[in-house]
């Protein structure tokens, strides 16, 4: 199963991250411009709830997002991003969404390694003809691991909610979000 190795990698990185020295100084990634590129797997826990009905279906989502922004201070960053989500549902089949998002991250410590919270929100723009535009919200927490002088790994775990419309049917896709990214 593809999801288990990713979960094991995520847990390994979280557990071993505390072994890295945490230094209280600004790193290259905690000032000025930055880019975060993330791959996400939203493992089979997505549910589609039709408005006005009790029908639900499972879904598997794959996500690729990149954001560019600025550190406002060593603990807070704001950015704008774009991304693609591929959603495979039992009920509606496979479809893609293009996302334009605002991303905010709050780092608990001004350190090379440490925990952060994030929030992402923005429109899901129609790519295929099988649905209309929608909206997504993704919130969660992660850990920043500085590996070397400028390579920073940022795995995270969160909750993803997408609101979409297919014809006259409105539905919500909700899932756990497991992401791994690189901060440049």
Domain range annotation of the chain: 3-20+38-183
Write down the CATH number for the domain with range 3-20+38-183.
Answer: 2.40.160
Q: What is the pLDDT of residue 52?
A: 62
In angstroms, the CA 29 to CA 13 distance is 19
Phi and psi at residue 8, to the nearest 5°: -65, -40
In angstroms, the CA 11 to CA 27 distance is 25
Q: What is the pLDDT of residue 96?
A: 84
Q: What is the pLDDT of residue 23?
A: 38
Q: What is the pLDDT of residue 47?
A: 63
**Mean pLDDT by groups of 10 residues along the chain of 184 residues:** 48 44 46 92 67 68 94 94 87 83 94 94 83 88 89 94 76 88 91
Strand locations in 51-184 (E): 58-73, 76-89, 93-107, 114-126, 132-147, 151-153, 156-166, 169-183
């Amino acid at each position: 199963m593809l999801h288990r190795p990713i979960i094991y990698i995520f847990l390994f990185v979280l557990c071993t991250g505390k072994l890295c020295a945490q230094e209280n100084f600004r790193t290259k990634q905690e000032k000025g411009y930055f880019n975060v590129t993330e791959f996400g797997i939203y493992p089979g826990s997505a549910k589609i709830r039709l408005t006005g009905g009790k029908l639900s279906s499972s879904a598997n989502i794959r996500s690729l997002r990149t954001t560019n922004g600025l550190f406002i201070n060593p603990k807070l960053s704001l950015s704008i991003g774009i991304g693609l989500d591929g959603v495979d549902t039992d009920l509606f089949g496979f479809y893609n969404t293009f996302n334009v998002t605002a991303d905010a991250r709050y780092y608990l410590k001004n350190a090379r390694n440490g925990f952060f919270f994030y929030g992402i929100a923005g429109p899901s723009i129609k790519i295929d003809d099988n649905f209309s535009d929608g909206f997504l919200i993704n919130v969660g927490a992660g850990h920043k691991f500085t590996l070397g002088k400028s390579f920073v790994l940022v795995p995270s775990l969160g909750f993803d909610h997408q609101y979409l419309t297919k014809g006259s049917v409105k539905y919500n896709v909700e899932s756990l979000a497991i992401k791994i990214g690189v901060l440049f």
